[in-house]
Amino acid sequence: MRANCMADVSDEKLDRGARCIKTLAHPLRLKVLAVLAGREMSVGEILDAIGTTQSNVSQHLSQLRDKGVLASRREGNQVFYRVRDPKLFDLLALVRELFCDRPVDGWAA
Amino acid sequence: MRANCMADVSDEKLDRGARCIKTLAHPLRLKVLAVLAGREMSVGEILDAIGTTQSNVSQHLSQLRDKGVLASRREGNQVFYRVRDPKLFDLLALVRELFCDRPVDGWAA
DNA sequence: ACAATATATAAGAATATTCTTATATTAATG
DNA sequence: CATTAATATAAGAATATTCTTATATATTGT
């Protein structure tokens, strides 16, 4: 049954699926997820860790939150982001396993 | 250790990872994968199942093959494509699990 | 209320992806 | 070898994404 789990998927669902996957398909967003692995961080901390403009980080964070990948929480002046579901890292590990020659090395050719 | 599996990933590797994920991030390419679940198919058969131009399908198939998602085999006049690693469907199932409210329903809001 | 800090949003320029159209390649057949 | 069928490739137009710059909003402290 596994092999057939994708049969008869409607075009609309394929669109939504593609949009979801697209959410993960950007180096800065992957870096955000890497940095957020395990812990919660404020936008400022993420900004320091990532290295781009404040506006750019903010936009990527919004995108990740809008798609349900991240959750956020305001505390006074700051906003903290976290990965909503740790299964996400299983997914990313699977991506590596599938696309990498030598998984230990990280993302591959 | 799981939560930290993405720490210290180089920018270059993030780029490659994003490109890999991007390969899956298109409705027509997802549809190709759905259609190819389990079986091997010729370009012509895929074309019939997908519904777009011959050129367009061919380009998406190339992209999927170049990234290692699909493998191809020529037999006389025709070229047959297949999913290289069935783990791909585990990955897609995880995407659904993560992004869908009701997984049974398919890709979700 | 005002200034300072942290974050978000808007608008458009820069860039990348996708699609369309036309043409090329490859293999089979008469 | 000319023709047909199947698939691939090239070039550019159409479209979508990302980044930059400027500005807005929210919260805290004075």
In this prediction, residues A50-55 reach a mean pLDDT of 96
Q: What pLDDT band is residue A57 in, cutting at 50, 70 and 90?
A: very high
Q: What is the pLDDT of residue A7?
A: 58
Chain A nearest C-alpha distance from B62 (Å): 16
B11-105 folds as Arc Repressor Mutant, subunit A (1.10.10)
Question: Chain A to chain B, count of Cβ pairs less than 8 Å apart?
Answer: 169
Q: What is the pLDDT of residue B6?
A: 62
Q: What pLDDT band is residue A104 in, cutting at 50, 70 and 90?
A: very low
Q: What is the pLDDT of residue A103?
A: 40
Q: What is the pLDDT of residue B2?
A: 46
User: ∠ CA A37-A43-A47 to the nearest 5 degrees?
Assistant: 85
In this prediction, residues A94-109 reach a mean pLDDT of 60
pLDDT beyond 60 at B14:
yes
Q: What is the pLDDT of residue A32?
A: 97
Q: Of B2, B89, B91, which has the smallest distance from its Cβ to A95's Cβ?
A: B91
In this prediction, residues A26-36 reach a mean pLDDT of 96
Give the C-alpha separation, B81 to B86, whole Å. 13
Question: B80 versus A5: which is more confidently predicted?
Answer: B80
Q: Would you list the DSSP string of chain B?
A: -GGGTTTT--HHHHHHHHHHHHHH-SHHHHHHHHHHSSS-EEHHHHHHHH-S-HHHHHHHHHHHHHTTSEEEEEETTEEEEEES-THHHHHHHHHHHHH-SSGGG-S--
pLDDT beyond 70 at A86:
yes
Determine the protein residue whose CA lies at the shortest distance from the C1' of D27. A77
pLDDT in tens, B34-81: 999 989 999 999 999 999 999 999 999 999 999 999 999 999 999 999
pLDDT in tens, B69-108: 999 999 999 999 999 999 999 999 998 888 865 443 334 4
As assigned by CATH, the class of the A13-102 domain is mainly alpha
Q: What pLDDT band is residue A100 in, cutting at 50, 70 and 90?
A: low
Residue with tokens 């190709």: B32
CB B46, CB B35: distance < 8 Å: yes
Q: What is the pLDDT of residue B100?
A: 66
Flag if B87 and A94 touch (Cβ within 8 Å): yes
Chain A nearest C-alpha distance from B72 (Å): 17
In this prediction, residues B17-39 reach a mean pLDDT of 96
> Any idea where the domains of chain B sit in the sequence?
11-105
